[in-house]
Structure 1
Amino acid sequence: MNMFRKIYFAFFVLLLATGASSCKKWLSLRPSDGIVGDEFWQTKEQLAAAVNGIYASLIGNPPGVSDRSLAEYLFMWGELRADMVIPSAGASNNDIDIYNANLQSSNTIVNWRGVYRTINYCNTVINLGPGVLKTDKTLTEQQLNAYLSEAFTIRALMYFYLARSFGDVPLKLSATTSDDQLEQLPKNTQAEVLDQIVNDLKAAEPNAVFTYGSNDADKGRVTKYTVYALMADVYLWMDNYNDCITACDKVIGSGKFGLITSRSFFYQIFDAGNSTESIFEFQYSKEALNPFWLMFNTNKRRYQASDAVMESIYTIDYVNPDSVDYRADGASINSANNLIQKFLWETTADASFRHWIVYRYADILLMKAEAMTQLGNGPEALKLVYDIRKRAHALPATDHGVDPNSVEQVTDFILEERAREFSFEGKRWYDVLRNAKRNNYERLDIILEMVRNAAPPERQQSAMNKYRDVNSHYFPIYYYELNTDKNLVQNPFYQ
């Protein structure tokens, strides 16, 4: 039984043991797996099951809960507002509205409920887990702290997605375990949320484990390297470049990760999964299928790659057919029909369990390169970029011969390389926004150029006018949340 089959088994045993409940208001969500009440928090096995419930919520919804899976949201939030994905035959009106820069608060894609559900699972472990020390003397403080570090890190990850997607969001740090704990919370500023994320990661770091003793667990559960990778990403978003580099160096210096340099590297990362390059993955299985088959690979698929992915991002060598970027046609994309196939290798409808990769080693190298560039060390940053390009056999047409001492040129080159390396991995919009907003939106042109190239011609000017308002770069709050929490205020652009 692999790790996530065990997690799902424990998850449903837990549900049967404690009962399930549901509640309509997002901030009053009770854990739908039933991890509530003093009668439950008695043994270390129950605590372990509660932590497993956190991971189970990342890859599927609790029974009786009708919603998209988290990976689907993370794909949509990170890709649909950018330039590499377009609606396909099965696209909904909500998908098309985002593509047309017609985003409204009624769009179900901006529903954050699933993310706060996972946050509440984390809060429950953080708030109630320490009490198990008193009731189960076989639980050690070291074991407890390791479990708490997992909860702190996943909570930080969820809030990082919320902060980058919505800007200002409510911080809910206490567990909601009963209906008499309903809270009406206002939004916290993005800066406050980011500070809390850093605090959570600092709390997690000392007690996170280096290894669980198996490869599957080391890639599918939080380790110290997960904490360092997330720290690097958060610090980069906050323009804290020295701390970003320090966090990256902790991963690099461990010697436990590296770029896979064989021609089959793409297969090892995305088909086999849990590779030596992987740091943290949502691990799907036969018991918990991913959402990608229906999204990408049927006649009614919702999304496909834009023409620009092959033509401009990877480029095509029409003279030498053997000159190909190993990440492009036949890997991330099928150029014949613009199929997004990165997560579909050897997949069928009932065997769609390729993992969703949150962090891998190439991301560490390119985050470090970006931070080094902003500190004026373009030459060293480019060495890291060319390590990525060499492994991938990137085409000469995408090598612009940038001036190593030009911060702007190296920044743009790294952003382009991230598009090639992390195509369809839910990172593109966040990469564009992070680089555009730096130094009080000194590079707003990055977003405007992207919109100019990606928007439908008849909507290009309207879309560009919207994106000139920086408040439009964050999602509206879903209308249902505004109706159920009267302390929430709609994001400024959508008022």
Structure 2
Amino acid sequence: MKKILVCSIVLTLVLCTSSCNKWLELKPQDGITGGDFWKTKEQVQAAVTGIYASLLKDPLVNNLFVWGELRADMIAATTRTTIDEQNLMTTNILSSNGYTNWGIVYSTINYCNTVIKFAPQVLKSDPTLSQDELDAYMAEAYGIRGLMYFYLLRVFGEVPLKLDPSSSDKDIERIAKSSKDEVSRQIISDLDFADKHAFITYGSTAKDKGRITKYTVNAMQADVYLWMEDYQKALDACDKLVNSGKFGLITESSQSRWFSILYYLQNSNESIFEIQFDKQRLNPFYNMFGASTRRFEVNPVVMDEIYTVNIENPSLYDFRGNGASVNSSINVVWKYAGANGGQGDLEGRSIDDYTSHWIVYRYADILLMKAEALTWLGKGAEALSLVKTIRARAHALAATEQNPDPEDQEGISDYILSERAREFAFEGKRWFDVLRHAKRNNYSTSAFNRMLDIVVVNAPGNSQQAVRNKYRDFNSHYLPVNADELTRGGGLLEQNPFYK
């Protein structure tokens, strides 16, 4: 155990403090791919631990938030919002924008590639490593690689598929982008391996919520299949979690208690996978949402239209709104900045208490993804029943209730999109949800018009029509390839046509 701990700590420190600036951020640190490293089971475990450590490395989670929220309607700028962030919010996006740099994601992908390639050779040198154990470690690497490519797919569309590790500058070849279909197929292939070999449990709650389990993989599969519009497979993946009996919604009569369990204590029964920050590795949210330094605040549309307020009876309120997702008195994103929740006196976190996890999937997501799949499989009544379950848990207000006909697929889909905004406010899902709904059936549904209404929320009045016109080009829905990557790409990387 001491040997495992030492290896894990050393590798974690290397991963978390190093700076990568190579093309596609492909080069792992010296020694990790060397022949002397891959000898023991403990080294395999340390390398997998290093993959998880890379998820904590700045600016990964910062970027996941920005990519998933800023192009939508729930975040507003402050005087501290950077120019790059403002340009994302107002659709003034150039290839020089720092948020078009995908390097931090490829860095994690390369650590996954390194485990996938080199871990199997340990079977020859360490007889204590069984094939099942190796496959389980490999499943974690495949699962995280699939997740990282899924983010790249949704943010950039076409991206290079790098499936082999690069251990030196000589190995960093220049590769062209793969099509969206090719990237999607690779993601599914990675997740299929992970689904077959991942553990159901690691023996403790923290490990089960912070590592890739079979249920994490099923959640990712559901999400990917929804994106691909394969609704039966999405439904099947959701049902694996539903039928497991391992998860449930956190139901509390007290909003403060509900907030504490889900967003402060975390790793709850509702949680499926969370990126685990702690006192030793704080999250990036202090500068993003802290009271005196915040770069982002809550857009007024969130309380005015998404949650709403019952003026006649203030004792009725959506648990997910003020006092949970939002502190409306100071307009702060409260999920990450708050030390407590509820309708009483709210206390913010101290600077050294920014330990809240980044929730990637939780059970409410599974239920709403299942509802979406059911909708497009012609089972609208079942879908609406699931939405009702989510709303009842949250004490949602009557003003936000919709009553689409069970046969009205677009009406139900629109209702689910609205409910996802309330349920997952500021959890890095809003833009991806809007885009998924808009692009359905080759942008042939009314959801595309809703996207056009959403993307102008942060645009100045005199440029809103120009923003709408930009988004009528479907290529604009994905970010450009960063200018530096184009320069280093040896002419093989092609720019997104919208940004040429």
Asked if the contact 1:245/1:371 (under 8 Å) is kept, the reply is yes
Q: CA deviation at 1:454?
A: 4.2
Cα distance, 1:455 vs. partner?
Answer: 2.6
**One-letter amino acid of the structure 1 residue matched with residue 366 of structure 2:** I
Match of residue 29 from structure 1: 26
Q: 2:493 aligns with which of 481, 488, 493?
A: 488
Partner in structure 2 of residue 117 of structure 1: 107
Q: CA 1:226–1:7 in 2, change beyond 3 Å: closer, same or farther?
A: farther
CA offset digits 1:244-293 (Å, max 9, x no partner) = 00000000000000011113222211100100000000000111100001
Contact 2:16 2:53 in 1 (8 A): no
| Closer, same or farther: CA 135–338 of 1 in aligned 2, 3 Å | same
Identity %: 53
Matches within 5 A, 1:188-199: 188-199=178-189
The within-5 A match list for 1:92-103 is 92-103=82-93
Task: Give CA-to-partner distance per residue, 1:134-169, whole Å, 9 cap, x none.
Answer: 111111111100000000000000000000000000
With over 3 angstroms needed to count, the CA separation of the structure-2 counterparts of 1:18 and 1:317, relative to structure 1, is closer
Distance in 2 between the 1:402 and 1:8 partners? 55
Q: 1:40 to 1:244 in 2, by over 3 A?
A: same
In 1, Cα distance between equivalents of 2:38 and 2:105: 24
State how far apart, in whole Å, the 2-side matches of 1:28 and 1:457 are: 39
Equivalent in the alignment of 2:164: 174
> Structure 1: which amino acid aligns with 2:439?
K
Which residue of 2 is the match for residue 388 of structure 1?
A: 390
Q: 1:111 to 1:132 in 2, by over 3 A?
A: same
* Of 164, 178, 183, the match for 2:154: 164
Distance between the aligned counterparts of 2:392 and 2:13, measured in 1? 52
Tell me: CA distance 1:376–1:394, structure 2 relative to 1, closer, same or farther (3 Å): same
Q: Give the Cα–Cα distance (whole angstroms) in 2 for the partners of residues 258 and 16 of structure 1.
A: 35
Q: TM-score, normalised by structure 1?
A: 0.95
Match in the other structure for 1:377: 379
Q: Indicate if the aligned counterparts of 2:4 and 2:43 stay in contact, CA closer than 8 A.
A: no
Deviation of 1:89 (Å):
2.1
In the other structure, the counterpart of 1:465 is 469
1:451 aligns with 2:481: no
Asked whether 1:477 is paired with 2:481, we answer: yes
Structure 2: which 5+ residue stretches go unaligned? Answer: 340-348
Instruction: Give the SS at the match of 1:350.
Output: helix
Corresponding residue for residue 360 of structure 2:
358
1:430: which partner in 2?
Answer: 432
* 1:419 alignment counterpart: 421
Cα shift at 1:429: 0.3
Residue 310 (structure 2) pairs with residue 306 (structure 1): no
Task: State the partner residue of 2:345.
Answer: none
3-state SS of paired residue (1:342): helix
1:431 is displaced (CA, Å) by 0.2
How far apart, in 2, do the equivalents of 1:34 and 1:312 lie?
54
Alignment map for 1:174-323 (pairs within 5 Å): 174-262=164-252, 263=254, 264-323=257-316
Which residue number corresponds to residue 405 of structure 1? 407
- Whole-angstrom CA distance in 2 between matches of 1:119 and 1:8: 23
Contact 1:89 1:300 (C-alpha < 8 Å) held by counterparts:
no
| Structure 2 CA distance for partners of 1:434 and 1:20, relative to 1, 3 Å | closer
Which residue number corresponds to residue 342 of structure 2?
none
Do the aligned partners of residues 19 and 78 (structure 1) sit closer, same or farther apart at CA in structure 2, a change above 3 Å counting? closer
Offset of 1:19 from its aligned partner?
A: 13
Distance 1:157 1:15, change over 3 A: closer
SS at structure 1 position matched to 2:272: strand
Q: C-alpha offsets along residues 8-45 of structure 1, whole Å, 9 cap, x if unaligned?
A: 96444237899997653233622237522111101111
Give 1:153's aligned residue: 143
Root-mean-square deviation (CA, aligned residues, Å) is 1.9
Aligned residue pairs, count: 484
Question: Hey, what does 1:349 align to over in structure 2?
Answer: 351
